[in-house]
Amino acid sequence: MTWITNRWYVAAWDSEVDRTPIARTICGEPVMLYRKLDRSVVAMRDACPHRLLPLSMGFKEGDSIRCRYHGLLIEPDGCASEMPIKSEAVPKAVCATLYPVVEKHRFVWVWIGDAAKADPATIPDFWPCSAPGWTFDGGYNHISCDYRLVIDNLMDLSHETWVHQGSIGQHEITEAPIETVVDGEEVFVRRWMPGIEPPPFWRDALRSAGPVDRWQVCHFIPPSSVLIDVGVSPADAGDTIEEHNSGVRGFVVDAMTPETETTTHYFWGMARNFDIDDAGFTARFKAQQGQVFDEDVEVLEAQQRSIMANPDMKLRGYSIDQGSVRARTIIRKLMEAEEA
């Protein structure tokens, strides 16, 4: 196992979960998700307690689900209310596992570990996704790689120069010094690029020409999220890496949920504080962002295949990898603490 168990993980976008059950494997466990009539979400082990057929294949009856194989009826609290032979009493032990589930910041979060330890206050703070004056949307990719490789990718944005040459890449990214800071369980990688020409996207967002100060602040939050504070402001505005609100600003939101040790659910999006009422821009940018992440997917899946084909070799860390190395160290220590 390569993940921390007792943490919240994104299971789905809020828009993905409706009355019809969906199946998704989270940290190696099959989970069924659906909404009750009151629109609250149920997260249940996707296995009938009778013969283990996935419950997501079953038939909805009100807020309950009936197994498609022999008709065992399971209530939304996980307990059976009707046996295959309807005249038989239902043993109290006939239950499906329920997982704690919370909707926040447009995502459905589940807790796979010890349910008694599930505290909604510990859900990662994706504040730009819910704050007034900001708008947020995004998408999903299934990636055939270890979730930690995606974290590595996002904590080292120097790859943008080469992987994303035709979109967001800029040579100034590799020329700017980086600062890596560890704060408790969290890691920050900060890059400040003063007085540069903005790439086309940021020039158009700022709606003015001339040199800008550009920033990138990658923020790792356990168990597996990365928020990237990005933007530009006019070079004469006086902004700093600590305070930068004079121009246009966004947060690239990345939540990586392990499916297995070599596959990942990747939930991505961008929250921004400009053109927030322009639904057309939001849709266009979501499509563009999806194309950028498709470039990452191609590289990450090839990297995973190469790792598996070269078991005698190890990943090496250089100066640009400080953020990802420290994020992996935190993950490892948190896993060891769970096992102790």
**Residues of 88-119 as b/e, b for ≥16 C-beta within 10 angstroms?**
eeeeeebbbeebbbbebbbbbbbbbbeeeebe
Integer Cα distance of 21 and 13 in angstroms: 14
What is the reported pLDDT for 314? 93
Question: Average pLDDT, stretch 244-269?
Answer: 96
pLDDT, mean over the chain: 93
pLDDT tens profile 279-321: 999 999 899 888 888 888 999 999 999 999 999 999 988 888 8
- pTM reported for the whole predicted model: 0.93
Mark out the alpha helices in the chain (DSSP H runs).
147-155, 160-163, 172-175, 200-206, 279-309, 322-339
What is the reported pLDDT for 24? 98
